[in-house]
Amino acid sequence: MTVFQNLIRVCLLLPLLLSVSLSDAGLPAIIDGQPLPSLAPMLERAVPAVVNISTISRIETAEHPLLQDPVFRRFFAIPEEQRKNHSLGSGIIVDAKRGLVLTNHHVIAKASEIEVRLNDGRNLVADLVGADPDTDVAVLRIPAKDLTALPLADSDALRVGDFVVAIGNPFGLSQTVTSGIVSGLGRTGLGIEGYENFIQTDASINPGNSGGPLVNLRGELVGMNTAILAPGGGNIGIGFAIPTNMARVIMEQLVEHGAVRRGLFGVEVQDVTGELVAALNIKDRSGALVTSVNKGSAAAEAGLREGDVILTVNGKAVSSSADLRNRFGLLRVGEQVELEIIRSGKPRRLTGAIADPYRDYIPGARLSPSLAGALFGELDRQNGIPAIPVGTVETNSPAWNAGLREGDRLLQVNDQVIDDLRDIARLLRQADGLYSLRVQRGDQLLLLARR
């Protein structure tokens, strides 16, 4: 075919091509009686419940306690530097009547001020209700006026292959939507959080998506986007979300107590290996093998013994030792526990209750108003170092504002070594207040100065 013939052919087809383009531009909502599939109606309902979160964090100019004293800073005109971090993450309005916003702990960690930007453009100052670093869950409260909340789904009903949509603010791009499927369930052992039971998805999750929702096609919250696996620093289609059921349990405790009050069962477990299946006379590798039971613990009172294999907790199957740890970690103090176990090849049922690990601790308010909101145990000598163990610390309480956190070991008060709880009360009474605390936090020794 010649060039001239090709030109004639194009001219003849041009009107037809134009008519197709024009008709596509105005594509009808229904073709052959069937509506076109679209996520737009669902997103129109869900997106107003997704918020952008930014924080203000104060930068300390020095570590010396005197430079952290506001009176000293004002006297010597030492400026207080601040840094505003924009679009650090996302959040989910889960209760419109109470103004509750769910997000990740790492999004608001170390923040002195938290600002929430709604989909309608409003900027609101948020109060921190409580946070749980072990599950990376935090709850904020904003003024409850004209808010839209996401309904919560039963995340236990999710199946691998279900379609899901992630909504958030990656890289500061507000209200970005990505879609994918559930790639895996019950992911543990990733070393991301203390308690892990992640939903894995291939929906694109990037920096800024943290704390945003993972929703099903009905626009119901099934998970909270938390982390990605990114060896090269970019998204490779492996993202993780905290299941709604797990986030809900943590949220309820944070709203009620300002902190998570985890109980203690007093049992050590390990995974059931292939070699142990025959030795234990069990069917498969599911469950968790009991390796030790703490004397006088709730597990001992329930009748659990070394060598038992725990198959279910409250009717739900246990897949591994990590799964069992997650289940116990989400149970409240005093909550009843029903266990199905295998002992010497025979099935048994045991019942017990989650014990309070701080039942013998005393409230800090009994020692000094400066320590109100924290619980303190009797002096012990863990690793040869005498210290007062610190139990739960209520968010924004005097003890919290002094810098104390659950799990700390108190070594000194106002630069004085302490021998018992009475020493704390005496030292604070003599000094007419709290000036400094020295604590052991993990492997670190910290000097906390009251600001």
Any catalytic annotation for residue 323?
A: no
Q: Which of 95, 136, 202, 323 is catalytic?
A: 136
Cβ(204)–Cβ(178) below 8 Å: yes
Any catalytic annotation for residue 210?
A: yes
Q: Which residue has the tokens 């009620």?
A: 256
Token duo for residue 387: 């210290």
Q: Which of 105, 106, 155, 320 is catalytic?
A: 106
Q: Can you say whether the dihedral through the CA atoms of 255, 138, 357, 196 is positive or negative?
A: positive
Comparing CA positions, the residue from 174, 166, 152 lying closest to residue 53 is 174
Any catalytic annotation for residue 86?
A: no
> What letter represents residue 146's amino acid?
D
Within a 10 A sphere around the Cβ of 210, how many other Cβ atoms?
A: 26
Q: Which of 87, 155, 183, 210 is catalytic?
A: 210
Rg over CA atoms, the chain: 28
Residue 75 burial class via C-beta count within 10 angstroms: exposed 0-12, middle 13-18, buried 19 and up: exposed
Beta-strand runs (E) in 250-329: 267-271, 288-293, 309-313, 316-317
Cα–Cα distance, 215 to 180 (Å, whole number): 11
Cα–Cα distance, 248 to 227 (Å, whole number): 19
Cα–Cα distance, 428 to 435 (Å, whole number): 9
Comparing CA positions, the residue from 408, 414, 353, 331 lying closest to residue 377 is 408
Give CA separation, 401 vs 111, 289, 359, 437, in Å. Answer: 13, 42, 24, 12
E strand or H helix at 248, and its extent?
A: helix 244-257
> What letter represents residue 275's amino acid?
E
Cα–Cα distance, 446 to 385 (Å, whole number): 15
Token duo for residue 146: 């004209």
Q: Which residues are catalytic?
A: 106, 136, 210
